[in-house]
Amino acid sequence: MNTKKLGLGILDTIVKVVFIIIVAMLIIKYAKVAYNYGYHIFNQTAVSSGTGREVTVTISEGDSVGQIADKLAEVGLITDKFLFKLQEMFSEYHGMEQPGTYTLSTAMTPEEMLSIMSGGIKNGEESSDKDGALEEGAAEETEVIEETQETEEVENSEESNGN
């Protein structure tokens, strides 16, 4: 009877150790996968370097991020559809994709593609008129320069009148 108890005790211990080893291996495996996805969400890379290959993609009205990812993967612009969905979810262009036909390159990062597909509008922005903003800044700078010149002219004329 003692031999039977000892044998069952050893078998029970072996089963527990094997179970712990399997759980540890699964944790390690999926921790690596999670780290890889987390790393690539925020450190995006293009499919190819250099100028890349240009591809035309059509986004239809009502296309979901999954459908957009499928279209981009079909033409070779992205390598991992699930990763693209995560990158879109965490990007500033989340949910901003517009229907249309876009020319994208394999040298673009997913963030750059999303920027183009959203029309360059970031969350919280009302307009993507970057040229207008530049012109406004240039106009303000010109006004400051003109005011400075006027102030210098007044000071110079006061000095010459005071002499």
Tell me the CA distances in angstroms from 92 to 95, 112, 121, one per residue in order: 9, 11, 9
Rounded Cα–Cα distance for residues 33 and 70 (Å): 21
pLDDT at 126: 46
pLDDT at 131: 42
pLDDT at 30: 96
Q: What is the pTM of this model?
A: 0.62
pLDDT at 4: 86
Per-residue pLDDT of the chain (163 residues; tens, 9 = 90+): 688 888 899 999 999 999 999 999 999 999 999 999 889 888 888 888 888 889 899 998 988 999 999 999 999 999 999 999 999 998 888 888 889 888 898 899 999 999 999 886 655 554 444 344 444 444 455 454 555 555 566 555 555 555 4
Instruction: Name the pairing type of β-strands 100-105 and 54-59.
Output: antiparallel
Q: What are the structural domain ranges in the chain?
A: 13-43, 54-118
DSSP 78: -
Superfamily of domain 54-118: Endolytic murein transglycosylase (3.30.1490.480)
Rounded Cα–Cα distance for residues 73 and 66 (Å): 10
pLDDT at 23: 97
